[in-house]
Structure 1
Amino acid sequence: MIRVCLAALGAALTLHAGMASAQLRALSEQELSSHHGQGFLVLNNSSYGGYDFTRIALGADVTLNANFRNIRLGEYNYAPRNGSGVDLDIPALQFGRSDGTEAQRLVQITNPYFEFVYRNAGNAATREVVGMRFGFESIAGDIGLTLNTLSGSMLVDGGAAGTLDSRTDPGGGKRWDGSCTAPCLNFAQMGGVRAGDTNGASRDFWISALKSAVQFQPPAGMAQAPDLAQAGVWLNWRDRLTALTTTGTPPPNLPPVR
């Protein structure tokens, strides 16, 4: 049985908003006809690769500055690599930095979502929930990140230090410790990532918790489907990522000044 700790997933979505005040004002029918609106929560159903999906998205743009420590997700028995501990072991995760410009203090996130995965959704007798994932339609900004183990598909351009690519791991990125044959960027060198580049934001970040492998749909704006998400906790992030540092130390980040 897979036992997955998902508490950190819920904690990872922290919204920052300024103080605001407003008064209600009645609108005429003509005024109402000139306005358009959208629900705060958007629900979509889809099918792909033999599975059915229900996505609940937060139709909003979010700016985030937050620090998290010692996130461990996916603590269960996995005989091939029990010495690696858990699926995701993240000592430090920092959204934003305090040693750069004002804009670098915040990370820009678009349309956060939860998506639930079903098998045999049309048959009441055999229907079952396979799992879920949490992700962002896009994310841009500087993110301090240190890793001990990774179960997932991740690609980071480290420049002269090489590339971090979980696909090069013989275990297929399952509880990978970042070790690799030079020239490559490993976990000990990476102190964070810059999400997005001159072409736009990074578009394929998500973390899933599944009891069997699932093929998810291509992200919005991308034709290529992601790698097959494996059972347990799995992180996917390969689009437009560059290393912030190659010294293993994340850039400093203090809470935003109020």
Structure 2
Amino acid sequence: MKKVIMTLGLACMSYAHVHASEGLVRLNDTELSEINGAALMNLTYTDPANAHASMKAENIGFYKMGLDAVMELNANIKRIQLGCGGVNGAGGCDIDLENVSLSGLSNTSDGRVGSSAQLTNPFVEFAVKNPGSAATREIVGFRLSADKVVGLLTIGTENTSTPNGINSLSGFMKVQSDNSQKINGLASTAATRYNLFGSSQYGNLAVTGRLQALGLGGAAEVSFKTTAGGFNIPEILHNPFTTAAIAVNGKRQTSTTLTTQVKVPDIILGDDSSGFSESGTVAYDPVTGNPTGINSLGGKVTAEVTSCKWFACAIAGKGSQFKNVYMSGKITGITADLTLEQSLGLIHNLPISSAMSLSLQKQAVKWAGTDAADTAQRGWWLSAKDPVEIGDVIPQDLIVIDQLFPQIATAVSQYLDKNPAKTNDLGGLLGIGALTANVGTLNLSSTPLKLNVKNLTLNGQSFAPNCSGGMRFC
């Protein structure tokens, strides 16, 4: 790398030494060598041969002018709109942010107003194509940057269920919970509004399967389908999940997607004398506070016989109805592949400790010092090299999981078709009282469920305004 350094101030002082009584005194080389100084401003040039491989191929070099200093900045900007229309087309802006505040890391109003973000070694840089040719050289990009920015960046006015702040974003930014390079979170789910085997707006909830009676195996077997009843899944709090850090990387983005797998605690089914509630109760680990299991009454279910074999036909022929069926057993291995599509307008609180830059380029440019996956695209581009740590992802509201019901019904049906339930309840088979049946242990680990969720309000995204006097933005 070829480096040119311009020294301001010292250039005037290197020849002479000011002495109060003697005036200007000439210094020899030895005396001059004992004087230390530093450049306030420096200029560097990186030729294409020493740039990123993609820039070498494009014959792009870089001219950089920077300050060897730490600057402090506290700022409120009502709106930033860059790259609206133009070569990138109508329908939005490359960057559209409202109510932007940059301050020190304090997240109290008084603390923010009285503090400033620190920008270490700010600089401006130009990307020049064909730098060695006076006839064909052209500037294809420039960026405003700093080696490190430390401060709190907030966007928007409030953390509510209504998106505000980030309308669109072009750029690169990794988001993680802490320095583990992962997203950690706690998902709490709402109690179900429909019985598992009842009707639902999400589809068919009927469970089918086989039931063998009195220890006779296939000689006394019926096939059945449920027509009503069942059990509800109760409210489940603080179910932990972990996934890899996410990267916002692209043009004019309005949302980002998080995917992870959430384990649902085992559901233990009791019969009508167990004392378990039909809606269910949840057991929690006394140390971690995480859920460990769900106790629920396995009924009341209404079932209809769809076919019968041998001795079973004498007791419960096709079309027979059982109005009071209670089940015992366990449903284990329940997992849900969670896909969260999150509006960027619900992301507000971004503690920054990273090299950052805002750039404009005519073509894709790989700027030096950026993340390996970060190539600035045509137009305006906002970039952060190091991950932004937003803490644990904890939705403020309960997640509705009713969409899982048809999937659970299908998975249970497939299991009971291969592994029939058992009953020795002759009175129940004859219609004398309730019918109890043991479904055994239903392991559903081979059939993960799909849970799609959009736009959750997150606890960790609340922030104090960078204003005095109780104003949300100033």
TM-score under structure 1 length normalisation:
0.71
Does the alignment pair 1:210 with 2:361?
yes
Measured in 2, the distance between the counterparts of 1:122 and 1:44 equals: 15
Tell me the residue number matched to 1:195.
Answer: 352
What root-mean-square deviation, in Å, do the aligned CA atoms of Structure 1 and Structure 2 show?
3.1
Measured in 2, the distance between the counterparts of 1:142 and 1:32 equals: 44
* 2:248–2:256 contact (8 Å) kept in structure 1: no
Does the alignment pair 1:235 with 2:242?
no
1:54 to 55, 63, 69: 63
Measured in 2, the distance between the counterparts of 1:243 and 1:183 equals: 16
5+ long unaligned stretches in structure 2: 1-16, 20-24, 156-164, 178-183, 187-242, 259-338, 394-457, 469-474
Measured in 1, the distance between the counterparts of 2:107 and 2:248 equals: 29
Does the alignment pair 1:87 with 2:94?
yes
2:175 to 107, 131, 156: 156
* 1:98–1:105 contact (8 Å) kept in structure 2: no
Tell me the residue number matched to 2:248.
Answer: 166
* 2:107–2:463 contact (8 Å) kept in structure 1: no
Distance 1:195 1:127, change over 3 A: same
Measured in 2, the distance between the counterparts of 1:116 and 1:165 equals: 26
Q: Tell me, what secondary structure is at the counterpart of 1:188?
A: helix
Deviation at 1:71, TM superposition (A): 0.5
Deviation at 1:64, TM superposition (A): 1.4
Letter of the structure 2 residue corresponding to residue 141 of structure 1: G
| Cα deviations by residue, 1:43-72 (Å, 9 ceiling, x for unpaired) | 110131221111011211012111111100
* 1:217–1:225 contact (8 Å) kept in structure 2: no
| Bigger Cα Rg | 2
Q: Which structure shows the higher strand fraction?
A: 2
Q: Tell me, what secondary structure is at the counterpart of 1:56?
A: strand
Distance 1:98 1:160, change over 3 A: closer
Distance 1:54 1:148, change over 3 A: same
Deviation at 1:32, TM superposition (A): 6.5
Measured in 2, the distance between the counterparts of 1:236 and 1:98 equals: 23
5+ long unaligned stretches in structure 1: 1-24, 168-172, 197-201
Measured in 1, the distance between the counterparts of 2:139 and 2:119 equals: 28
Alignment coverage as a number of residue pairs: 214
Measured in 1, the distance between the counterparts of 2:246 and 2:462 equals: 16
Q: Tell me, what secondary structure is at the counterpart of 1:148?
A: strand
Deviation at 1:121, TM superposition (A): 0.8
| Cα deviations by residue, 1:71-105 (Å, 9 ceiling, x for unpaired) | 001123356x733x100001022111561675882
* 2:84–2:90 contact (8 Å) kept in structure 1: no
Measured in 2, the distance between the counterparts of 1:59 and 1:53 equals: 18
